[in-house]
A and B are shown apart, each in its own frame.
Chain A
């Protein structure tokens, strides 16, 4: 039997499909400042999906850094850099430089781990979106939704919200088929689903273990026992 290999494939799970629908929705209100929010627990594939989307659609992606907490200047300078503008050394000029550049080419901007920064940054993001007419999509964990809801002006401009749900059994079956060519029964997929609690990273790790077991046994038929061993191998490393 030929060795099974895990192919690097970006699998369009339900969350990814919802993400695309959300982006299409944001595109409908072209010409005005608007925000989107993508939230959910860690391990659901939020950054991965936004990185994939931005790379394939020429958007801007910025991961928030903790040291920016003290000043908006670094944040604005990084945004300027992303759009190819020499970053000014003061906040006002940096804000203007970025919005001026974006107005001619209003691309979606993804801000990942937004909840790391103080709440007043939300007002800055709102201003940036209003002035540049570009959609800003804030990505973060569950508490980000609370921050945005508290700020009425921000919330009224939030046109789209998307919660990243736990990965589904159906997604696990598709993932195993597309990446490893292994056909999982719903019962086997359910084992992975229950042990991972819907965490995509854990599912990936367990499928990788499963591939190794399948190769060792020289079979592509996945049994529940093989799945249990794969899950147990993963748990041992936790």
Chain B
């Protein structure tokens, strides 16, 4: 992220926490002195302001606020589950606006981990509150395994193609002789 212009601007702000920074100062820090470069910088600063990442103090003076990160759906569902203890799928959808399939998959994962138990009335009760949201690495692990297998298969295909090409060349050379 730091390689991008937004990343560089963010770094300047973060290097001067709780300070009001002039755009001119940021331009100098980033060595963007030419007018054409400054235009790009102004546009980027405007984007920062639009997404509420910086606060405008006065004309050309800004202060960093930070990215108001919206919690992930899983985090919203986890907080809702912890506050109510016993929840239904509908309750989690209502709280988080998540899709039903996603909620069910997440609940299945928690059930596998023995964090919740399913009740007879299709509700789920939190039985092992770890406070911190449990992270589902299973899917990531599965994707990693698939990627590795795919890589190996592609390498094998390349090897076969290379051998076939070598054989073809050899045959061509034989014809030439």
| Chains A and B bind each other | yes
B71 in contact with A54 (CB, 8 Å): no
How far, in whole Å, are A54 and B75 apart by their CA atoms in the complex? Answer: 11
Is B6 at the interface (CB under 8 A from chain A)?
no
Docked pose: A8 CA to B98 CA in angstroms: 10
Whether A8 lies near B91 (C-beta < 8 A) is yes
Q: For this complex, into which size category does the number of interface residues on chain A fall?
A: 10 to 19
Output the least CB separation between A59 and chain B (Å). Answer: 8
Is B51 positioned at the interface, with any CB of A under 8 Å from its CB? no
Where chain B touches its partner, the secondary structure class is helix
A104 at the interface (CB under 8 A from B): no
Does residue A55 face the partner (Cβ distance < 8 Å to B)? yes
Indicate if B90 sits at the interface (CB-CB under 8 A). yes
Residues of B in contact (CB 8 Å), total: 20
A4 to chain B, nearest CB (A): 15
Question: Which residue in chain A gives the minimum CB-CB distance to B75?
Answer: A58
User: A55 to B76, Cβ gap below 8 A?
Assistant: yes
Decide yes or no whether B94 CB sits under 8 A from chain A. Answer: yes
Complex alpha-carbon distance, A93 and B82, angstroms: 25
Residues of B within 8 A of A130 (CB): none
What is the distance, in angstroms, from B90's C-beta to the closest C-beta of chain A? 4
B residues at A contact (CB < 8 Å):
70-71, 75-77, 79-80, 82-84, 89-91, 93-97, 131-132
- 14 pairs across A/B with beta carbons < 8 Å? A8-B89, A8-B90, A8-B91, A8-B94, A10-B95, A51-B95, A52-B80, A56-B71, A56-B96, A58-B75, A61-B82, A81-B131, A84-B131, A84-B132
Q: What are the nearest 7 A-B pairs in CB distance? A: A8-B90, A55-B79, A8-B94, A8-B93, A55-B80, A61-B83, A51-B83
